[in-house]
Amino acid sequence: MRNIFRNKIYGNRIHITYASRTDKGVHAIGQTVTINVKDINVDEVNTELPEDIAIWAYCKAPKYFDARRCTIYRHYKYIVFKRDLDLEKMKNASKDLLGIHNFKRFCYKIKGPVIRRIYYIKIDKIENGYLTLEFIGSKFARGLIRNLVDLLTRIGSGEIKNLNSVWEYSGPLCMAPPENLYLIDAYYPLKYMISDSGVEKVIKAIHMINEGESDERKILRKHMLKDFWKIMSDLRELSLKLHSTLH
């Protein structure tokens, strides 16, 4: 996307920051990008972007704002397409991950400490006996969520057992597939404008059906669409509150 903005839209003299540098294959419905331009015509930009990329909300950022460093929290969801997992075992194990910890052992090829704070983990059953795992944290590191999903699902299946705490586990991990993970939101207390053309493009992209698409992919799209409507509603409400506070 960086090259699209630079080469096709604004040229090379722009600086871009991202709220989250997600793993290859991971989706995002609420990624935040900053671009140092004086003005932007969102409708025109959306026509230049690929069909699966859209600007659906925008605002003028404060001076020195950086999408990555100024994020208050990031919210991810992973859909596990496995059945017969012990939900209570997974929930109990996830409690050990809350708070501030060094998550280095659960990350991918990182040498130094990985000190992160996870505020919230929610695990729910959905249709067909599948599960959703939601993570909210200040920030995450490469492979962290996908490795935590692998750990928790293996605990739920009984493959990993007899742990008093997840921190006792020192065995190998296999990162869960990236395609089932998506960034829901990166939160900032900013007043946004909603782009109708961008919203329409997002909905169209989520609804795109590939030939021979599996039922699992349809479930993934269904939850992405549901979460998109939720964060868009929350964004409108936040913007109205900020507007009334400032005036």
Q: What residues are labeled active site?
A: 23
Query: 190 to each of 102, 136, 185, 247, how far by Cα in Å?
Result: 30, 19, 13, 15
State the Cα–Cα distance between residues 113 and 42, nearest whole angstrom. 40
Distance CA 130, CA 123 (A): 11
What are the phi and psi torsion angles at 227 (to 5°)?
A: -70, -35
Cβ–Cβ contacts within 10 Å for residue 65, how many? 15
Instruction: Give which of 190, 195, 192 is closest to 41, Cα–Cα.
Output: 195
Which amino acid makes up residue 145? I
Q: Do the Cβ atoms of 150 and 174 come closer than 8 Å?
A: yes
**Dist. CA 3–CA 42, nearest whole Å:** 17
Cα–Cα distance for residue pair 158/82, rounded to 1 Å: 13
Q: For residues 59 and 193, is the Cβ–Cβ distance under 8 A?
A: yes
